[in-house]
Amino acid sequence: MNVILQSSRFGELQIPAEAVLDFPAGLIGLGGRRFALLARSEESAFVWLHSMDDPDLAVPVTNPWRFFEDYEIELGDDEAERLGISGPEDASIYVTVRSAPALDDFCANLRAPILVVGNQGHQVINQAAIAPVRAPLFAGLQEEPSRAA
């Protein structure tokens, strides 16, 4: 069964009911409980986490390890227990992205990753020492001029 998603960015979309994620606490400071992940293709670097209830609310997210190889997430035991996870294999992990006219100005929020566990989503605070709220997404590429060709 499909659920209709009205999106101001993408128009009307049919979302399989089982793909709708429940965010019991919403996104931090934004709220919202029901979201769906929208990708153009399997290979898309950017996936939209779209509110099922607010046609305007959608946040681009990405797999952090695609851009930050050494990224680490540290959660307190209490929090891991609250989310029902015992290790990284129990969750799909995304970080939010802010786009900009130039790729150089794209940033990801490594401090507040989004963990998808089953059909639930949780934005959590990463306790790792190096986890900036605004990490340049393409900074690592500058050391690889061969990729620019």
Partner 1 sequence: MLIITRRPGEKIMVGDDVVVEIIEVSGSSVRIGIAAPKSIPVYREEIWAAVQAENRAAAASDVAQLPDDVPTPSKKS
20 part of the interface to partner 1, by CB under 8 A: no
Q: How far is the CB of 88 from partner 1 (least distance, A)?
A: 17
Nearest one of 91, 21, 84, 95 to 59, comparing CA atoms? 95
Residues 6+ apart with CB under 8 A from 103: 137, 138
- Is residue 11 near partner 1 by the rule CB under 8 A? no
24 binds partner 1 (CB under 8 A): yes
Phi-psi region of 118 (alpha: psi -120 to 50; beta: other; left: phi over 0): left
Q: Does 86 bind partner 1 (CB under 8 A)?
A: no
- Write the CB contacts of 45 (distance below 8 Å, at least 6 apart in sequence): 62, 66
3-state secondary structure of 13: strand
Q: What is the DSSP letter of 83?
A: H
Min separation Cβ 1 and partner 1, Å: 27
Which range, of 14-22, 85-93, 109-117, touches partner 1 by CB under 8 A? 109-117
C-alpha count within 13 angstroms, C-beta hemisphere, residue 34: 14
145 scored as a contact of partner 1 (CB under 8 A)? no
Q: Which is nearer to partner 1, 86 or 134 (CB)?
A: 134
Instruction: Report if residue 23 touches partner 1, rule: CB under 8 A.
Output: no
Element (H, E) at 18: none
List contacts with partner 1 (CB under 8 A). 9-10, 24-25, 27-30, 40-41, 43-46, 57-60, 66-67, 69, 81-82, 96-101, 103, 109, 111-112, 123-125, 133-134, 138, 140-141, 144, 147-148
